[in-house]
């Protein structure tokens, strides 16, 4: 009998150890670029590039948004000459998940080892003030998980507070879509806030590369990328932290 119990105990340990880790990719619900008459949403390569890094590493991925349901894609990001965009966009199952995302308020943070905020201008309207964004991110981080964001995705980080009342990014090295890049695309005057400025206001140590160049910053378990060109490397850095 004792050998049977020992076997079952060892089997349970092995099963737990072999269970794949899960990552939550969060995208925006915002479809309008307010004040412009233009459409916005999540930026496809900032989803597709990290996603395939995670899949290659054997990680499981769920998709969520602040409200749940349909997550619109920024039409400017639909570049099917990009092979990973094409592969992702033509996968009906994946695109179906983005049309029926999980609502963050219904997500169990204990299931995930990392939360990743994809960018797109839409995030500037629905990430920063979402209580669910802050709650889920804080619980994942304080449980030893990774919090990551790319391009405009760091809008999610500006109001996250830890249990001790400090901002998550206070004193941390981060990056994100820069003021210079926002000026280049001529959208600064339409933004509810300038992302670079707000990150600095929260006490973050903002780092950046020249406009449109790849830049990924890792500070402990916080990983940020500056722009779409940084999405793939962001995925790689998250995979390294989860090994």
Residue 111 known to be catalytic: no
Calculate the CA dihedral of residues 73, 173, 53, 211 and round it to 10 degrees.
Answer: 60
Task: Find out whether 42 and 28 touch, Cβ atoms under 8 Å.
Answer: yes
- Who's near 93: CB < 8 A, 6+ residues apart? none
User: Would you call 16 a catalytic residue per the annotation?
Assistant: no
- Which of 49, 151, 181, 233 is catalytic? The answer is 151
The one catalytic residue among 46, 49, 152, 181: 152
Choose, from 46, 181, 182, 196, the residue flagged as catalytic.
182
49 given a catalytic annotation: no
Find how far residue 104's CA is from the centre of its chain.
13
Q: List active site positions.
A: 151-152, 182
């Amino acid at each position: 009998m004792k050998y049977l119990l020992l076997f079952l105990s060892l089997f349970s340990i092995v099963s737990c150890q072999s269970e794949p880790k899960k990552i939550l990719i969060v995208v925006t619900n915002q479809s309008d670029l307010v004040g412009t008459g233009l459409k916005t949403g999540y930026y496809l390569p900032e989803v597709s590039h990290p996603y395939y890094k995670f899949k290659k590493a054997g990680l499981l991925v769920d998709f969520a948004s602040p409200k749940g349901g349909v997550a619109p894609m920024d039409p400017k990001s639909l570049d099917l000459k990009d092979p990973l965009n094409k592969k992702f966009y033509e996968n009906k199952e994946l695109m179906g998940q983005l049309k029926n995302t999980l609502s963050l308020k219904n997500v169990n943070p204990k299931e995930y080892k990392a939360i990743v905020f994809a960018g797109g201008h839409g995030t500037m309207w629905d990430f920063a003030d979402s209580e669910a964004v802050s709650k889920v991110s804080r619980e994942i981080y304080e449980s030893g998980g990774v919090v990551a964001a790319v391009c405009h995705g760091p809008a999610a980080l500006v109001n996250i507070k830890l249990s001790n009342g400090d901002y998550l990014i206070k004193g941390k090295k981060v990056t994100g879509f820069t003021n210079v890049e926002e000026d280049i695309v001529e959208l600064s005057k339409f933004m509810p806030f300038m992302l670079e400025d707000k990150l600095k206001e929260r006490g973050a140590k903002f780092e950046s590369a020249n406009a449109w160049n790849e830049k990924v910053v890792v500070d402990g378990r916080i990983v940020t990328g500056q722009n779409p060109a940084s999405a793939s490397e962001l995925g790689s850095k998250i995979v390294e932290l989860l090994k």
